Amino acid sequence: MALLVYVDDLVIAANDEEACSKFKSYLHNCFSIKDLGPLKYFLEIEMARGPHGLFLCQCKYALEIIDECGSLGPKLTGFLMKEDHKLALASRRLLNDPTSYRCMIGRLIYLTITRPDFTYAVHILSQFMQQPREEHTNAVKCVLRYLKGIAGCGLLLSSKNDLRLYGNNDSDLRGCPITVIVNWLLHHAWELSRFLENQQTGYHF
C-alpha cells in the first residue's frame, strides 16, 4: 500500500481492496474524511481506467497553457523543434521582461510528466531562462503550436507488461556549440514510451 499526501488531499494505492477499506476506516475514525472514489484527477493529471490499462494525460492543463499564450492563431505545426536550431547562438534582442518566458517554461516542464516527447525541447529552452531572446520565444511558440494539435495525448500504463527496463541513448555531438548533449530515455515495460501520436489513434475509456 502506498499513501500520497498533498495538503488536505490523500491518494491511496493498493492491490488489496480489503486492506485499503480498513485503512480508510481507520483514517475516518481519526478525523473526518470524504471518500471520492477511484482517482480520476489529481494535480492537473487526468486518469482513466480501461481494459488496456491506465491512461494519464494533462489535456485540461495543456489547453490552459495554450490559452495563456493567446497569440498562436489557427496555424499548427507537426514538429516540436527544428533539428539544427542553433538556439545557443541566438543574437536577436533580449526580451524586455523575461517573466512570461520563464513562467511558460515552468509550465511546460510540469507537462513533461505525461508528455516525455516534449522533454528534449523543453530541456533546450529551459537553458535560456536567464536571458531569453526573440529566437527563444519563437521556439516556445513552435512547441505550443505542436501541443495545440495533440493536447489530449498522454501515457498509457499498459495492463500487459513484462516488467523489464529498457534503455536508449542519443548523443548530439555537433548540434549544440556549448555542451555535448546526451539524452537518456528509460522506460518501464508499462510502455511509458508509447505516448500517443494523436487522439484519433489513441485509447479512449
Query: Three cell numbers at 24?
Result: 480508510
Query: Percent of the chain having pLDDT more than 70?
Result: 77
Residue 80 has pLDDT above 50, yes or no: yes
This prediction has a pTM of 0.74
Q: Which amino acid is present at 125?
A: L
Phi, psi of 73, deg, nearest 5: 75, -175
* Spatial CA neighbour of 51 closest among 204, 164, 169: 204
Residue whose entry in the numeric block shows the C-alpha cell 473526518: 32
Residue 109 has pLDDT above 80, yes or no: yes
- Integer-rounded Cα radius of gyration of the chain: 20
- Chain-centre distance for alpha carbon 41: 15
If DSSP codes are grouped into helix, strand and coil, which group holds residue 39? Answer: coil
pLDDT-based confidence at residue 62 (cuts at 50, 70, 90): very high
189, 166 contact by CB (below 8 A)? yes
Q: Is pLDDT larger for residue 75 or for residue 91?
A: 91
Query: Percent of the chain having pLDDT more than 90?
Result: 31
Residue 83 has pLDDT above 50, yes or no: yes
Q: What is the pLDDT of residue 165?
A: 64
DSSP conformational letter for 178: S
Residue 42 has pLDDT above 60, yes or no: yes
Q: What is the pLDDT of residue 78?
A: 85
Q: What is the pLDDT of residue 130?
A: 92
Average pLDDT in the chain: 80
pLDDT tens-digit profile of 18-28?
Answer: 888 888 888 88
192, 157 contact by CB (below 8 A)? yes
Q: Which amino acid is present at 100?
A: S
77, 147 contact by CB (below 8 A)? no
HSE toward the beta carbon, residue 180, CA cutoff 13 A: 4
pLDDT tens-digit profile of 123-172?
Answer: 999 999 999 999 999 999 999 999 998 888 898 888 887 767 666 555 55
pLDDT tens-digit profile of 158-198?
Answer: 888 776 766 655 555 455 555 544 444 444 444 444 444 44
Q: Is pLDDT larger for residue 102 or for residue 32?
A: 102
Helix axis angle for 119-126 and 134-149, nearest 10°, is 160
